[in-house]
Structure 1
Amino acid sequence: MCNWAAAYKIGYSFFIVAEGQVTPVAFEVRGSSNSRFQDGVSVLTELVNPSISENGLTLSATNAGRGAGDCGEKGEWAWDGERFQLLRYSGLDMCRGIVAGEWPVIYRANRK
Protein backbone atom coordinates (compact mmCIF):
# COMPACT_ATOMS: atom_id res chain seq x y z
CA MET A 1 0.00 0.00 0.00
CA CYS A 2 1.40 3.40 -0.94
CA ASN A 3 1.64 5.59 2.17
CA TRP A 4 3.19 8.71 0.72
CA ALA A 5 4.95 10.14 -2.32
CA ALA A 6 7.52 12.92 -2.59
CA ALA A 7 10.18 13.99 -5.06
CA TYR A 8 12.11 10.84 -6.05
CA LYS A 9 10.68 8.81 -3.16
CA ILE A 10 7.58 6.69 -2.54
CA GLY A 11 6.93 4.92 0.78
CA TYR A 12 5.04 1.60 0.87
CA SER A 13 3.76 -0.72 3.58
CA PHE A 14 3.38 -4.42 2.78
CA PHE A 15 0.83 -6.94 4.04
CA ILE A 16 0.32 -10.69 3.88
CA VAL A 17 -3.27 -11.71 3.25
CA ALA A 18 -4.07 -15.34 4.09
CA GLU A 19 -7.26 -17.06 5.17
CA GLY A 20 -9.08 -13.76 5.60
CA GLN A 21 -6.37 -12.30 7.85
CA VAL A 22 -4.28 -9.25 6.99
CA THR A 23 -0.87 -9.10 8.66
CA PRO A 24 1.58 -6.19 8.27
CA VAL A 25 5.05 -7.17 7.09
CA ALA A 26 8.15 -6.07 9.04
CA PHE A 27 11.53 -6.09 7.30
CA GLU A 28 14.59 -6.84 9.44
CA VAL A 29 17.42 -4.31 9.12
CA ARG A 30 20.80 -3.70 10.72
CA GLY A 31 21.99 -0.29 11.84
CA SER A 32 19.08 1.70 10.45
CA SER A 33 18.17 5.02 12.05
CA ASN A 34 14.68 4.71 10.54
CA SER A 35 13.86 1.39 12.21
CA ARG A 36 12.00 0.40 15.33
CA PHE A 37 12.32 -2.68 17.52
CA GLN A 38 9.85 -5.53 17.23
CA ASP A 39 10.42 -8.68 19.27
CA GLY A 40 13.99 -7.55 19.93
CA VAL A 41 14.81 -7.11 16.24
CA SER A 42 15.34 -3.83 14.39
CA VAL A 43 12.71 -3.62 11.62
CA LEU A 44 11.24 -1.31 9.03
CA THR A 45 7.48 -1.35 8.59
CA GLU A 46 7.70 0.76 5.45
CA LEU A 47 10.03 0.53 2.45
CA VAL A 48 11.06 3.46 0.29
CA ASN A 49 11.28 2.97 -3.49
CA PRO A 50 10.83 -0.82 -3.37
CA SER A 51 11.43 -3.03 -6.40
CA ILE A 52 11.44 -6.73 -7.16
CA SER A 53 14.16 -8.54 -9.09
CA GLU A 54 13.46 -9.82 -12.60
CA ASN A 55 13.31 -13.41 -11.34
CA GLY A 56 10.94 -12.38 -8.53
CA LEU A 57 13.17 -13.76 -5.76
CA THR A 58 14.51 -10.56 -4.21
CA LEU A 59 12.71 -7.49 -2.88
CA SER A 60 14.91 -4.38 -2.67
CA ALA A 61 14.42 -0.88 -1.33
CA THR A 62 16.58 2.24 -1.36
CA ASN A 63 15.96 5.22 0.87
CA ALA A 64 18.46 7.68 -0.54
CA GLY A 65 19.20 11.02 1.04
CA ARG A 66 19.29 14.21 -0.99
CA GLY A 67 18.47 14.27 -4.69
CA ALA A 68 21.94 12.96 -5.51
CA GLY A 69 21.26 9.77 -3.53
CA ASP A 70 24.72 9.94 -2.01
CA CYS A 71 23.66 8.75 1.45
CA GLY A 72 20.88 6.62 2.92
CA GLU A 73 20.03 2.94 3.31
CA LYS A 74 19.59 0.05 0.88
CA GLY A 75 18.25 -3.39 1.70
CA GLU A 76 17.50 -6.69 -0.04
CA TRP A 77 15.19 -9.39 1.29
CA ALA A 78 14.11 -12.87 0.13
CA TRP A 79 10.82 -14.60 0.93
CA ASP A 80 11.35 -17.94 2.72
CA GLY A 81 7.73 -19.08 2.68
CA GLU A 82 6.96 -17.48 6.05
CA ARG A 83 8.70 -14.11 6.15
CA PHE A 84 11.15 -11.88 4.35
CA GLN A 85 14.75 -12.72 5.31
CA LEU A 86 17.41 -10.02 5.16
CA LEU A 87 20.02 -10.78 2.48
CA ARG A 88 22.01 -7.56 2.36
CA TYR A 89 21.93 -4.18 4.04
CA SER A 90 24.15 -1.19 3.33
CA GLY A 91 24.09 2.42 4.30
CA LEU A 92 25.88 5.70 4.63
CA ASP A 93 24.75 8.20 7.27
CA MET A 94 26.68 11.21 6.04
CA CYS A 95 26.15 12.48 2.48
CA ARG A 96 29.59 12.40 0.90
CA GLY A 97 29.02 12.10 -2.84
CA ILE A 98 29.16 8.28 -2.76
CA VAL A 99 26.59 6.38 -4.87
CA ALA A 100 24.43 3.63 -3.30
CA GLY A 101 26.39 0.78 -4.90
CA GLU A 102 29.46 1.92 -2.98
CA TRP A 103 27.88 2.36 0.48
CA PRO A 104 29.44 0.23 3.23
CA VAL A 105 27.81 -3.19 3.62
CA ILE A 106 26.47 -3.57 7.17
CA TYR A 107 25.02 -7.07 6.78
CA ARG A 108 25.26 -9.82 4.17
CA ALA A 109 23.81 -13.34 4.07
CA ASN A 110 23.86 -16.15 1.51
CA ARG A 111 20.70 -17.51 -0.06
CA LYS A 112 20.25 -21.27 0.47
Structure 2
Amino acid sequence: MSSASVGPAKPPASAVRPSATGNDPILNNALRIKPGDVHILDSCALVHLKPGTHDRAIADYSAALATKANSANVLHGRGIARQRSGDKLGSDADMARARAIQADIAQVYAGYGVE
Protein backbone atom coordinates (compact mmCIF):
# COMPACT_ATOMS: atom_id res chain seq x y z
CA MET A 1 0.00 0.00 0.00
CA SER A 2 1.14 3.50 -0.75
CA SER A 3 1.73 5.96 2.06
CA ALA A 4 0.64 8.90 -0.09
CA SER A 5 -2.39 10.68 1.30
CA VAL A 6 -5.54 10.83 -0.74
CA GLY A 7 -7.50 14.04 -0.69
CA PRO A 8 -8.87 16.77 -2.88
CA ALA A 9 -6.66 17.74 -5.80
CA LYS A 10 -4.84 21.01 -5.40
CA PRO A 11 -5.22 23.63 -8.14
CA PRO A 12 -2.12 24.12 -10.28
CA ALA A 13 0.34 26.66 -8.92
CA SER A 14 -0.21 28.80 -12.00
CA ALA A 15 -3.95 29.14 -11.38
CA VAL A 16 -4.87 32.69 -10.44
CA ARG A 17 -7.97 32.80 -8.27
CA PRO A 18 -9.74 35.55 -6.41
CA SER A 19 -8.02 35.93 -3.11
CA ALA A 20 -8.32 37.47 0.30
CA THR A 21 -7.57 41.14 0.63
CA GLY A 22 -4.72 41.10 3.08
CA ASN A 23 -5.64 42.91 6.26
CA ASP A 24 -9.25 43.82 5.48
CA PRO A 25 -11.26 41.57 7.82
CA ILE A 26 -14.63 42.78 6.53
CA LEU A 27 -13.94 41.88 2.90
CA ASN A 28 -12.19 38.64 3.90
CA ASN A 29 -15.24 37.59 5.92
CA ALA A 30 -17.57 38.61 3.10
CA LEU A 31 -15.60 36.44 0.68
CA ARG A 32 -15.93 33.47 3.01
CA ILE A 33 -19.69 33.94 3.29
CA LYS A 34 -20.44 34.78 -0.37
CA PRO A 35 -17.38 33.88 -2.46
CA GLY A 36 -18.98 34.51 -5.86
CA ASP A 37 -20.77 37.78 -5.10
CA VAL A 38 -20.05 40.28 -7.88
CA HIS A 39 -20.11 43.30 -5.54
CA ILE A 40 -17.72 41.74 -3.04
CA LEU A 41 -15.34 40.65 -5.80
CA ASP A 42 -15.50 44.14 -7.33
CA SER A 43 -14.62 45.68 -3.95
CA CYS A 44 -11.78 43.20 -3.41
CA ALA A 45 -10.43 43.95 -6.87
CA LEU A 46 -10.46 47.69 -6.17
CA VAL A 47 -8.56 47.06 -2.92
CA HIS A 48 -5.90 45.28 -5.01
CA LEU A 49 -5.95 47.82 -7.84
CA LYS A 50 -5.21 50.90 -5.74
CA PRO A 51 -1.81 49.77 -4.39
CA GLY A 52 -0.82 48.16 -7.70
CA THR A 53 -1.42 44.45 -7.10
CA HIS A 54 -2.65 44.16 -10.67
CA ASP A 55 -2.59 40.38 -11.11
CA ARG A 56 -4.83 39.94 -8.07
CA ALA A 57 -7.11 42.77 -9.20
CA ILE A 58 -7.46 41.20 -12.65
CA ALA A 59 -8.25 37.80 -11.09
CA ASP A 60 -10.96 39.32 -8.86
CA TYR A 61 -12.45 41.40 -11.69
CA SER A 62 -12.45 38.34 -13.99
CA ALA A 63 -14.21 36.26 -11.33
CA ALA A 64 -16.81 39.02 -10.95
CA LEU A 65 -17.33 39.10 -14.72
CA ALA A 66 -18.01 35.35 -14.68
CA THR A 67 -21.03 36.20 -12.52
CA LYS A 68 -22.10 39.45 -14.21
CA ALA A 69 -20.58 39.86 -17.66
CA ASN A 70 -22.00 43.32 -18.37
CA SER A 71 -20.87 45.31 -15.34
CA ALA A 72 -19.39 48.65 -16.39
CA ASN A 73 -17.63 49.00 -13.01
CA VAL A 74 -15.99 45.60 -13.25
CA LEU A 75 -15.01 45.98 -16.91
CA HIS A 76 -13.51 49.44 -16.37
CA GLY A 77 -11.63 48.34 -13.27
CA ARG A 78 -10.17 45.33 -15.06
CA GLY A 79 -9.32 47.61 -17.99
CA ILE A 80 -7.31 49.87 -15.68
CA ALA A 81 -5.54 46.88 -14.10
CA ARG A 82 -4.73 45.47 -17.54
CA GLN A 83 -3.46 48.84 -18.74
CA ARG A 84 -1.18 49.17 -15.72
CA SER A 85 0.13 45.64 -16.23
CA GLY A 86 0.95 46.34 -19.89
CA ASP A 87 -1.99 44.60 -21.62
CA LYS A 88 -3.07 47.45 -23.90
CA LEU A 89 -5.32 45.34 -26.14
CA GLY A 90 -7.17 43.77 -23.21
CA SER A 91 -7.43 47.15 -21.52
CA ASP A 92 -8.82 48.86 -24.60
CA ALA A 93 -11.42 46.11 -25.10
CA ASP A 94 -12.57 46.20 -21.46
CA MET A 95 -12.78 49.98 -21.35
CA ALA A 96 -14.69 50.18 -24.64
CA ARG A 97 -17.24 47.64 -23.37
CA ALA A 98 -17.54 49.54 -20.08
CA ARG A 99 -18.14 52.88 -21.86
CA ALA A 100 -20.78 51.25 -24.08
CA ILE A 101 -22.66 50.21 -20.94
CA GLN A 102 -22.09 53.40 -18.94
CA ALA A 103 -20.67 56.43 -20.74
CA ASP A 104 -19.44 58.19 -17.58
CA ILE A 105 -17.66 55.18 -16.02
CA ALA A 106 -14.23 56.87 -16.18
CA GLN A 107 -15.59 59.75 -14.06
CA VAL A 108 -17.03 57.26 -11.58
CA TYR A 109 -13.59 55.66 -11.14
CA ALA A 110 -11.96 59.09 -10.90
CA GLY A 111 -14.27 59.65 -7.91
CA TYR A 112 -12.74 56.52 -6.35
CA GLY A 113 -9.30 58.07 -6.80
CA VAL A 114 -8.41 55.71 -9.66
CA GLU A 115 -7.66 56.99 -13.16
Q: What TM-score, normalized by structure 2, do the two folds share?
A: 0.28
Task: Mark the structure with the bigger radius of gyration.
Answer: 2
More helix by share: 2
